[in-house]
Structure 1
């Protein structure tokens, strides 16, 4: 994996080094600095970031659980290949079955403090919509995944959360190869969804999530 000039150099060491390492590798994948299918050397990344292999392997485990990297015995890690069009269609079909259900549950179960976190994520994503390029899209992708994952977790169904956990990253990787631009329309859809959850409107939250996913699918057409 080549060292991109924008992120080359040693990482600063925050209280949670593993999170910083994860974010650095995630951004490289989402910015296509690591292309789908490319091998990722743990040793090389450790040297590039100036850390031991332990946080690199921890980050790779997280990325593998999200479907962004694959581990092959005796070979190591590589970036997950991009989904084909048929696989993407299957992914959206699954999302339409599960995420509106999760949104309805969140209208009843999500604590106010978590709703406030979703509102903050909406604001951050809206700010990114004013920027262009791969770096802005990579940041948007990470926030969008956090947004949808929080809704899945807050629905209170562990199986639904697990099933959805690997889906959203593939949507973003598919989009990257076509258009590296933050979809501004998605921000209004996110805000409508959070507003329905805050109003404790289960029907409205389910409808808002369904509309968001269907419009997202049409944006690929």
Structure 2
């Protein structure tokens, strides 16, 4: 079956996401709907739809009477708070997922991990932004498999992966994450809660250490 063609709104969203994550459109910059429409060769309607979606994810900010601006980078304190929070809840979620995930959930998670690995093999800004989206989905699915709705809701509200991937554009970020995901997947497949917890903790700590040097702490 042929996959349906993405809508113009989806295409505009993906193009703008790549621009934001690669920092070609820098934090704080004012966004012109008309200018973006000309840049991407579409009408203003899909641009507005993409901006609404990006606003919901915290990547752009709408200001009264002035339009949209790119959201600022994470502050040093916000960065530290996010990782402290993730280290508290995500290893436990991974442990629960290893014990509670259904075979279909494990299979879907493994398929997603394989897709991410394929993206990481090709170093392009478009692939990097897609990888950021999939990384968020990977962690969300693990939380869902752990059957804790509070953890799921908390992670969904943060949109941490989008902001964290904006800190650094480099293929090594994706490649290292893929290797760490493999360890998490292996533990979940084997139903080993303790190993899944350790693997997730190591992954989040390594992610923190990769991103830490690439912004100015405030």
Specify if TM > 0.5: yes
Q: Which aligned pairs between 1:60-75 and structure 2 lie closer than 5 A?
A: 60-75=51-66
Q: 1:189 aligns with which of 163, 180, 183?
A: 180
Task: Tell me the residue number matched to 1:3.
Answer: none
8 Å CA contact retained: 1:189, 1:208: yes
Query: What SS class does the counterpart of residue 71 from structure 1 fall into?
Result: strand
Classify 1:160/1:107 alpha carbon distance in 2 versus 1 (closer, same or farther; 3 Å): same
Task: Tell me the residue number matched to 1:33.
Answer: 24
Measured against aligned partners, the alpha-carbon deviations of 1:131-190 in whole angstroms (never above 9, x if no partner) come to 4454443333232222223323443334322322321112111123xxx23332221110
TM-score by length of 2: 0.80
Q: Distance in 2 between matches of 1:207 and 1:111?
A: 21
Task: Tell me the residue number matched to 2:96.
Answer: 105
Q: Distance in 2 between matches of 1:148 and 1:42?
A: 32
Residue 123 in structure 1 maps to residue 131 in structure 2: no
Query: What SS class does the counterpart of residue 78 from structure 1 fall into?
Result: strand
8 Å CA contact retained: 1:134, 1:181: no
More helix by share: 2
Residue 96 in structure 1 maps to residue 87 in structure 2: yes
Q: Distance in 1 between matches of 2:53 and 2:147?
A: 21
Q: Distance in 2 between matches of 1:19 and 1:90?
A: 31
8 Å CA contact retained: 1:125, 1:143: yes
Structure 1 runs not aligned, ≥5 long: 1-12
Query: What SS class does the counterpart of residue 175 from structure 1 fall into?
Result: coil
Q: 1:175 aligns with which of 157, 168, 181?
A: 168
Task: Tell me the residue number matched to 1:8.
Answer: none
TM-score by length of 1: 0.79
Query: What SS class does the counterpart of residue 83 from structure 2 fall into?
Result: helix
Task: Tell me the residue number matched to 1:159.
Answer: 150
Task: Tell me the residue number matched to 2:193.
Answer: 202
Query: What SS class does the counterpart of residue 61 from structure 2 fall into?
Result: strand
Equivalent residue pairs, number:
206
Q: Which moved more, 1:112-121 or 1:208-217?
A: 112-121
Query: What SS class does the counterpart of residue 62 from structure 2 fall into?
Result: strand
Measured against aligned partners, the alpha-carbon deviations of 1:33-54 in whole angstroms (never above 9, x if no partner) come to 2111112223333344454444
Structure 2 runs not aligned, ≥5 long: 214-218
Residue 87 in structure 1 maps to residue 78 in structure 2: yes
Q: Which moved more, 1:129-138 or 1:195-204?
A: 129-138
